[in-house]
């Protein structure tokens, strides 16, 4: 955002990979897109000193290329968030929190004290508005409608609102491999998608991760124009517990971005 406002932006990141939860190829592609906008990245960087000199901020850091100094007018520090639970008097009510201050809940969002629930960011886990709302639906369903809903195994779609957007659902390849799945993987660069070409928005790629034992979709990452919208189509198929092959023979409206699923499904093959 600041780059597009005209600032010269350098991103210093402690990790070796930008957007570290994503698969490396997705992270590399997003980094490439941002670099093409003029943003500089320094990965695996260790900040050693920050000084304010002559109205300028000087940030000293170590990286693979040795010691350097980044100079600028503003410094945005993104170190994460913590729950605002320390002043609620939870201890007086005997409500348990974990060591980071998140309120402990079970799958029904019940705390350890009967009649007290915790919803949204304060209970930890992925912090999204749509999950906070779904937490409410679960508690409402259980309390008012007599249902037995739980957050366990909840499918969590998300979107990083970069341009192009990074939409994700389910597991990444590295998560799925970590869980021991035998995989089939499909990829499709957005340069293959007619609608993306027409719109001049060919940056990015689609990737689908499939359970080789039953062709069920384990997850997908869509770095594309409207990636957040597109990934929810695959999320719907996951909710319906249908195999990816259902989309292989499907008819897609031409020219739409979803038409790219045709090439994506065709590309699915056994991974090493
Ligand atoms: C910069 C930024 C961008 C984000 N972008 C997205 C996005 O694009 N999509 C997305 O899904 N999520 C996004 N999120 C995350 C999303 O905002 C949160 O997950 C969501 O707001 C959580 O809802 P919540 O109701 O649990 O908590 P909150 O929305 O934080 O609400 C908690 C409320 O409790 C109040 N409160 C706190 N302490 C007390 C107290 N002691 N007494 C009384 N009231 C108190 C606070 O003032 C606040 O109003 C973003 C977050 C940030 C910070």
Query: Are both 137 and 178 inside the same structural domain?
Result: no
Query: Are both 224 and 165 inside the same structural domain?
Result: yes
Query: Are both 31 and 133 inside the same structural domain?
Result: no
Is there a catalytic annotation at residue 74? no
87 Cβ closer than 6 Å to some ligand 1 atom: yes
What separation in Å is there between the alpha carbon of 134 and the centre of ligand 1?
Answer: 14
Site to substitute for ligand 1 among 128, 133, 137, 169, most atoms within 8 A of C-beta: 128
* Measured distance CA(185)–CA(221) in Å, rounded: 11
CATH number for the domain harbouring residue 188? 3.30.390.30
pTM, entire model: 0.94
pLDDT at 81: 86
Query: Are both 111 and 193 inside the same structural domain?
Result: no
Count of domains observed in the chain: 3
Query: Are both 98 and 61 inside the same structural domain?
Result: no
Instruction: Please give the residue range of the domain that contains residue 194.
Output: 159-270
pLDDT at 249: 85
CB 78 within 8 A of CB 65: no
228 Cβ closer than 6 Å to some ligand 1 atom: no
What parts of the chain have a pLDDT lower than 70? Answer: none
pLDDT at 163: 96
Q: Which helix (H) or strand (E) holds 211?
A: strand 205-211
pLDDT at 80: 84
Q: How many residues does the chain have?
A: 272
Shortest-distance atom of ligand 1 to CA 88? 41
Query: Are both 163 and 266 inside the same structural domain?
Result: yes
* Measured distance CA(223)–CA(264) in Å, rounded: 13
Q: Which helix (H) or strand (E) holds 137?
A: helix 129-144
Between the alpha carbon of residue 14 and those of residues 2, 26, 28, 68, 80, the distances in Å are 21, 18, 16, 15, 13
Give, using CA atoms, the residue closest to atom 3 of ligand 1: 128
Between the alpha carbon of residue 261 and those of residues 153, 197, 230, 248, the distances in Å are 26, 15, 9, 8
191 Cβ closer than 6 Å to some ligand 1 atom: no
Pairing label, strands 158-160, 66-72 = unpaired
Site to substitute for ligand 1 among 76, 84, 134, 151, most atoms within 8 A of C-beta: 84
* Measured distance CA(109)–CA(149) in Å, rounded: 10
* Measured distance CA(22)–CA(239) in Å, rounded: 22
- Residue 59 resides in a domain: yes
pLDDT at 79: 85
């Amino acid at each position: 955002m600041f780059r597009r406002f005209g600032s010269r932006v350098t991103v210093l990141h402690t990790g070796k990979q930008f957007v570290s939860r994503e698969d490396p190829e997705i992270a590399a592609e997003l980094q490439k897109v941002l670099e093409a906008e003029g943003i500089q990245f320094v990965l695996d960087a260790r900040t050693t000193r920050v000084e304010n000199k002559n109205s300028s901020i000087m940030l000293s850091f170590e990286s693979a290329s040795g010691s350097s100094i980044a100079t600028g007018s503003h410094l945005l520090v993104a170190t994460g968030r913590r729950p605002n639970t320390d002043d609620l008097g939870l201890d007086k009510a005997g409500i348990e929190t974990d060591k980071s201050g998140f309120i402990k809940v079970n799958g029904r969002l019940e705390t350890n004290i009967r009649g007290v629930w915790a919803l949204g960011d304060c209970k930890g886990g992925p912090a999204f508005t749509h999950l906070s709302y779904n937490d409410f639906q679960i508690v409402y369903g259980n309390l008012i409608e007599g249902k037995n809903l739980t957050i366990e195994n909840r499918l969590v779609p998300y979107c990083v609102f970069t341009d192009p957007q990074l939409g994700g659902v389910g597991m990444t390849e590295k998560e799925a491999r970590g869980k021991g799945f035998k995989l089939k993987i499909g990829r499709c660069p957005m340069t293959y998608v007619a609608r993306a070409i027409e719109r001049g928005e060919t940056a990015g790629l689609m990737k689908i991760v499939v359970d080789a034992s039953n062709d069920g979709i384990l997850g997908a990452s869509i770095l594309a124009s409207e990636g957040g919208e597109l990934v929810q189509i695959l999320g719907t198929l996951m909710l319906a517990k249908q195999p990816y092959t259902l989309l292989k023979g499907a008819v897609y409206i031409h020219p739409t971005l979803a038409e790219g699923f045709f090439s994506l499904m065709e590309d699915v093959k056994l991974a090493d």
